[in-house]
Amino acid sequence: MKSWRINDMELLPQVPQVLSSADEGRAIALALRAGESLDEHQVHERAWIVVLDGEVSVTAPDGSVTTGGAGLLVEQDPGERHSVQAIADTRILLLLTPWPGTGHPRALSQQEAPSPPVPQSAT
């Protein structure tokens, strides 16, 4: 068993911290300062954004917006575009499954490349 106290971790704003990474999924902790954002982007995996502390606004391509604080869970389909804006200083947990998803540059077969080492942070 592994465990993390994400709200007690020293996270640098906009510097994702990979907590765990396996074929089944990847868990990433991220801090955003009030007013900072993750501009419109998409990931190849199914994504769950969990707000641990603070408040965010998540915008979908159709313009719909979901806003919430600690306890908000947003699920997004693989390839679904979105943006995340921190309304207050915020910590989020991002879960991606499977890792890497279909179409991701790291989604090479085991025959083509060995599994990379787990990074301590990602940009």
Q: Tell me: the pLDDT tens digits for 65-81? A: 999 999 999 999 988 88
**Res 115: pLDDT:** 44
Say if 36 falls within a structural domain.
yes
Q: Domain span at residue 63?
A: 25-97
Say if 115 falls within a structural domain.
no
Say if 15 falls within a structural domain.
no
pTM of the model: 0.77
Give me the CATH number covering residue 55.
Answer: 2.60.120.10
Cα–Cα distance for residue pair 22/107, rounded to 1 Å: 12
Say if 11 falls within a structural domain.
no
**What total number of domains does the chain contain?**
1
Say if 91 falls within a structural domain.
yes
Mean pLDDT for the stretch of residues 27-37: 95
Of the candidates 1, 59, 49, which has an alpha carbon nearest to the alpha carbon of residue 28? 49
Other CB atoms within 10 A of residue 96 CB: 20
